Chain A
Amino acid sequence: MSKRKSTGLTVVSESASYAELQKILRERIYKISAPEEIDEDSDLEKPRRHLLDLIQRCSSMGESNSALIIGPRGAGKTMLLKSVLDELKENRDFRDNVLEVHLNGLLQTDDRIALKEITRQLQLENAVGDRVFGSFADNLAFLLEALKKGSRDSQAVLFVLEEFDLFAHHKNQTLLYNLFDVAQSQQAPITVIGLTCRLDVIELLEKRVKSRFSHRQIHLFNSLTFDRYLEVFSSLLTLPTAEVKDKKFCAKWNKHVQNLSDDPGVTTILRKLYDTSKDIRTLKTFLMLPVARISLSHSRLELADFAEAHKILTADSKSNTLHGLSVLELCLVVAMRRLSDIFVNQPFNFQMVYNEYQKFVQTRSHAVQGFERPVVLKAFEHLQQMELVRAAEGAGIGGRGQKEFRPMTLMIDRSQLMQAIQKYPACPTEVKHWANTL
C-alpha cells in the first residue's frame, strides 16, 4: 500500500498521513485536560461569564472575592477555569496585575505545606529559590503581614484551590479562615476560587469560616443531551482540515467519521455509554482503544472496534477473576454460594464449606476427584487472598481463632457466578449441574 499520491505541490505518502492522524487524535484523546473551545450557546457560557467577571474585577478594580466551582468529576471545572485564565492572560494589564497561586488538596495535605507553597509561589522574601525559611508560625505571620500591608494598589493575588473539600479537613481550617478573612477586609486584593466535586462542601466549613465565605457558588453539571454527545464524539475524531497536509485524505477520513456517527450500531453502543456516564472523560477513555488501532493495515474504524472497546470497558472484573480459578476453587465458590443461599446473610466457616464440598463429591461427582482436606484448605486460602472471600464483619481481623473456623462471607453475587460458569473454559458437567441447582 505504498501508493504515492500527489496533492498540488506537496507529496505525502499514505503512511505519513496515518502517522499524522494518529498524532492529532492521540493528543486530543489522551491529554485529558486539553482546553476546548466553549461554544457561545453551551451551558458553560453563563458560569464562564460569571467567573470571568469575577477575576477581571479583582485585577482591574482591586475587588476581593471568593467563589466555589462545584460539579461532578469530569464536568470541566479545571477546563473552565483554565479557559478563563487563558483569555484574561492575553491582556497585558492582567498579567502585570495578578499573581497566581495554585494549590491542590491532594498535594498540600496540611496547612504547613500549603503555607510554604504559597510563600514559594508568591516569592515572598523569606523564600530563597524554592526553599522557605522559618517555622510554621513564622510563615503564617509573615504571609498575613504581607497581605495586611497590601492595599488597593498592590498586585492582586488569585488563589486557586483544587480539591477544595480536602482543605476543609485541615486542623481548625486555619488556611481557609485566613484566606477568606483577607478577602473580606481592606488588605491586598485577593480572589479565592475553590474547585470541588462535593455538593455539600459548604456544610463542611466551620461557622466563622462559612460566614466569611461569600457563598458564591458556580455549579457545573454534565448536562449534555445525547445529540450533543454524538456531536462531541464526531468532533473528537474529525481531523482539522486546515492543519492536515493531505487534503484529500482528510476529506475522506472526515466523511468516514460522519458515516460512523450515523451508523445505528455505533450509536447504540454510544447510547449505552451515555446511559452509564455522561461525562466526556469516559467517552475519551472509550475512544482510546479504537484510535490506537488505526494504522495503514487497519485504515478505518469499524463497528467491531467500538464493540470490542465497549466490551473491555464494561467487563465485570469479578467474572473475569472467576475464569482464572481452578476447578476445585470454582467448586468451593459454588459450595459457598449454596451456603449463603441456605443461611441467608449468615457467615460460614471453612469447615462448613468443606462439608458441602464433600457432599458434592460423594453424591454427584464422578469426574471431579475428591481432594484431601489440606489441599482444599489451600484453595480456600487462595480465594481469600484474592478477596473473593472475606472475614465476616465484626469477626475481627488477625490471628484470633483457628483459620478453619473463622466466620467468612462470600463477595460474589449469584448472577456473577452463573455468568462466569457459562463462560468457564471446559467446565465439568457435574459442576455446571450442581451450580444450576442453586
Chain B
Amino acid sequence: VRVDDMMPNIPKTPRQRKEPMGVLEQARARLHVSAVPESLPCREWEFGNIYSFVEGRLLDGTGGCMYISGVPGTGKTATVHEVLRCLQEEVDDSNLPEFQFVEINGMKLTDPHQANTQILKALTGQKATPEHAAEILDKRFNTPAPRRESTVLLVDELDLLWTRKQSVMYNLFDWPTRPQAKLIVLAIANTMDLPERMMMNRVSSRLGLTRMTFQPYTFRQLQEIVMSRMKGLQAFEDDAIQLAARKVAAVSGDARRALDICRRATELAELAKTPGRKTAALVNMSHVDTAVQEMFSSPKIMAIRNASLQEQLFLKAVVAEFRRSGLEEATFLQVSQQHECLCRLDGVTVPTMSQLSGVCSTLGASRLLLVEAGKSDLSQRVRLNVSQDDVMYALRDTT
C-alpha cells in the first residue's frame, strides 16, 4: 500500500456525545474559541476591504497580492475565511466566476520549500518534490490558458516561509504578476513591518502596497464579541463580561484570551453552585476575577512561600549578597558564605556544600534562580529570576 493512497482518519466513537444541557454548559460551548460565528463582530470594515479586493480581482480575471498583519488573536484568519465563504456563496448564485481556494500555513510545514509541494497537491492532486513542484507551478502560471479559473491562495504565518535566498516568498509574490496566472495571494503574518525588515527589495516590491493591519481589540469590541456569542442566553452579568474585556484589552487585546477567561469563569460558577439549587447562579464579577487571577497571575510568590526553609534562606542569601556587592550576579561560593551567616543567625543547622548545591539546583530547576550548569561548581554564577522585592515580600511573614 502506498502512503498517499491511505485515508487518514481518527476512529469514530461508539457512543453518542452529550449535548450541552444547562445554561452554563451551553454558554461554555458557545464560548469555545473553535465556535467561530457566521459573521465576526467588530471586523466589518476589514471584511469589506478584503472582500472588495478579492471580488474585484476575480471579476477582472487578474491577479494580485495583499498583506495582512496584526498581533495574534485579532481575527485575521477568521476574517479571511469568512470572506472566502461569502465569495463562495456568490459563486454558487453565479454572480461571480468560479475560483479555486488553496490554503497553506507556514507553521504546518516542516520546511519552507514544502509550500510548493502542498500548493501543487491542492491544485492538481499531484505529488512531487519541492523543487519539481516549483517547476510545475512555474510552468502552469506562465502558460496562457483561457479557460482556467482564478486561484485564491491564502498564506498564513508568512514569516515562517523565510529562507536565506527567499526563493519561496519570491515565487509566491512573483506568480500573481504574470498576466496568465490569475492568482490572488492573501498573505498573513504578525508583524506590520515584515516586508521591510525581512524581505529583499525585489520580494517586497512584488508584494506591493496593498496592506491591511488588524488592530488589537479594544475593551468595547471584546465586550461586544462575548455578548454576541451570548445572544439569547442569560449566563453572565453584564459587569462580569466588561471586567474580562477590560482586563484582556489592557494586556494584549487577544480575543482568544477573553473567550478563555469567560469559559473558565463559567466553570468556576458551576463549581460554586449551591448544592440545594437545581441551576447554577449567573457568572458574576468574582468568578471572572478568579479566572483572571488564575490565568494572568505569577505563581512565583506562592512558590517561594512554599519552598523549604533552606531554599528560602538561600534566596535570602542571594539577595543579601546582591545588596552587599551591588551587582545582580554572584558566585555560588559567595552566596554559600552568606547562607552560612544566615543559618547561624537563625540557629538552623548549616547544610554541607553538597546539600546546598542541591538546594541551589532545585531553585534553578523551577527557574526562581538562573544558574549555570552545575559543573562549574563553586564558581557557578547565580542570578535571580524574580525581583528582589518579590523575594523579600514573599518571605516577610515567614521565618
Contact = CB atoms under 8 A, between A and B. Distances in A.
Interface of A: 49, 53, 60-64, 70, 72-73, 93, 96-97, 99, 111, 122, 124-126, 133-134, 136-138, 140-147, 149-150, 152-157, 172, 174, 177-178, 181, 184-188, 197-200, 207-208, 210-212, 214-217, 219, 221-223, 272, 274-278, 314-319, 387, 390, 393, 409, 411-413, 415-416
The residue among B15, B109, B300 with the most chain A CB atoms within 10 A of its own CB is B15
A175 to B, nearest CB: 10
Interface stretch (B87-95, B169-177, B355-363): B355-363
Given A149-B8, A413-B378, A64 B355 contact: no
A219 B374 CA distance: 26
Contacts of A212: 72, 256
The residue among A133, A152, A216 with the most chain B CB atoms within 10 A of its own CB is A216
The residue among B10, B17, B257, B310 with the most chain A CB atoms within 10 A of its own CB is B10
B13 A314 contact: no
B367 A198 contact: yes
Nearest to A149: B9
B355 A276 contact: yes
Interface of B: 3, 6-15, 17-18, 20, 25, 28-29, 32-36, 71-73, 107-111, 114, 117-118, 157, 160, 190, 252, 254, 256-257, 260, 264, 267, 271, 294-296, 298-300, 302-303, 306-311, 333, 336, 340, 348-349, 351-355, 358-359, 362, 365-368, 377-379, 385
A208 B157 contact: yes
Contact of A125 (B6, B72, B365): B6
A53 B264 CA distance: 12
A158 B257 CA distance: 22
Contact of B12 (A72, A155, A207): A155
Contacts of A315: 352, 354
10 contacts: A72-B365, A124-B8, A125-B9, A149-B10, A184-B34, A184-B256, A198-B366, A211-B257, A216-B260, A413-B378
B368 A199 contact: yes
B29 A61 contact: yes
B3 A133 contact: yes
Contacts of A96: 13-15
A317 B354 contact: yes
A433 to B, nearest CB: 25
Contact of A178 (B107, B160, B295): B107
A150 B9 contact: yes
Contacts of B252: 211
Contact of A146 (B8, B260, B333, B359): B8
A200 B367 contact: yes
Nearest to B254: A211
B366 A215 contact: no
A122 B9 CA distance: 10
Nearest to B352: A316
A199 B308 contact: no
Nearest to A165: B367
Nearest to B191: A207
B7 A125 contact: yes
A409 B8 CA distance: 61
A272 B347 CA distance: 12
Contacts of B300: 199
A316 B385 contact: no
Contacts of B385: 200
Contacts of B264: 216
A211 B256 contact: yes
B299 A199 contact: yes
B129 to A, nearest CB: 10
B285 to A, nearest CB: 20
A318 B3 contact: no
Contact of A221 (B11, B36, B306): B306
Contacts of B25: 61
Contacts of A210: 72
Given A211-B73, A211-B254, A276-B310, A172 B107 contact: yes
A217 to B, nearest CB: 7
Given A122-B10, A199-B303, A314 B367 contact: no
Contacts of A412: 378
B110 A314 contact: no
B295 A217 contact: yes
A197 B366 CA distance: 5
A275 B349 contact: yes
Nearest to B309: A275
A409 B308 contact: no
B299 A219 contact: yes
Contact of B11 (A60, A154, A318): A154
A199 B306 CA distance: 13
A277 B354 contact: no
A198 B309 CA distance: 20
Contacts of A199: 298-300, 303, 366-368
Given A137-B110, A199-B299, A413-B333, A215 B12 contact: no
B265 to A, nearest CB: 12
Contact of B379 (A97, A157, A316, A393): A393
User: Nearest 8 CB-CB pairs, A to B?
Assistant: A211-B72, A146-B8, A221-B306, A316-B352, A275-B309, A215-B295, A125-B6, A150-B10
A366 B277 CA distance: 93
Given A149-B10, A155-B13, A73 B362 contact: yes
Nearest to B4: A138
Contacts of A122: 10
Nearest to A190: B10
A126 B3 contact: yes
B10 A154 contact: yes
A73 B9 CA distance: 38
B17 A184 contact: no
A307 B359 CA distance: 21
Given A96-B13, A153-B13, A207 B110 contact: no
Nearest to B3: A134
Contacts of A217: 294-295, 299
Nearest to A139: B110
A348 to B, nearest CB: 14
A318 B353 CA distance: 8
B355 A314 contact: yes
A278 B307 CA distance: 8
A97 B378 contact: no
Contacts of A390: 377
A353 to B, nearest CB: 18
Contact of A62 (B6, B17, B306): B17
Given A93-B15, A212-B256, A272 B190 contact: no
